[in-house]
Structure 1
Amino acid sequence: MSDYPIVSTGPDVTRQVLSDHETLMVVAFRFGASGAIGALHNHPHVQSTYVESGRFQFTLGNEEREVGPGDSFVVPSEQMHGCVCLVPGTLIDTFTPRRDDFL
Structure 2
Amino acid sequence: MSKGPIVATAENVTRQVLSHHPELMVVAFCFEREGSNDALHDHPHARSTYVESGRYRFTLGEEEHELGPGDRLTIPPGTTRGCVCLEPGTFIDCFTP
Shorter-chain TM-score: what band? over 0.9
Structure 1 alignment gaps of length 5 or more: 99-103
Counterpart position of 2:8? 8
What per-residue deviation string (whole Å, max 9, x for no partner) do you get for residues 36-94 of structure 1?
A: 00111001121000000000011011101100000001001110000000000001000
* 1:51 aligned residue: 51
Distance (whole Å) between structure 2 residues aligned to residue 87 and residue 37 of structure 1: 11
Match for residue 94 of structure 2? 94
**Could you tell me which amino acid in structure 2 is paired with residue 18 of structure 1?**
L
TM-score (norm 1): 0.90
Q: Which runs of 4+ in 1 moved over 6 A?
A: none
Matches within 5 A, 1:40-79: 40-79=40-79
Structure 2 CA distance for aligned equivalents of residues 81 and 58 of structure 1? 7
User: C-alpha root-mean-square deviation of aligned residues, in Å?
Assistant: 1.2
Contact preservation (8 Å) 2:3, 2:16: no
1:3 positional shift: 3.1
Deviation at 1:2, TM superposition (A): 4.1
| TM-score, with structure 2 as normaliser | 0.96
**Aligned match of 1:31:** 31
Question: Which structure 2 segments of 5+ residues have no match?
Answer: none
1:58 and 1:67 in contact (8 A); partners too: yes
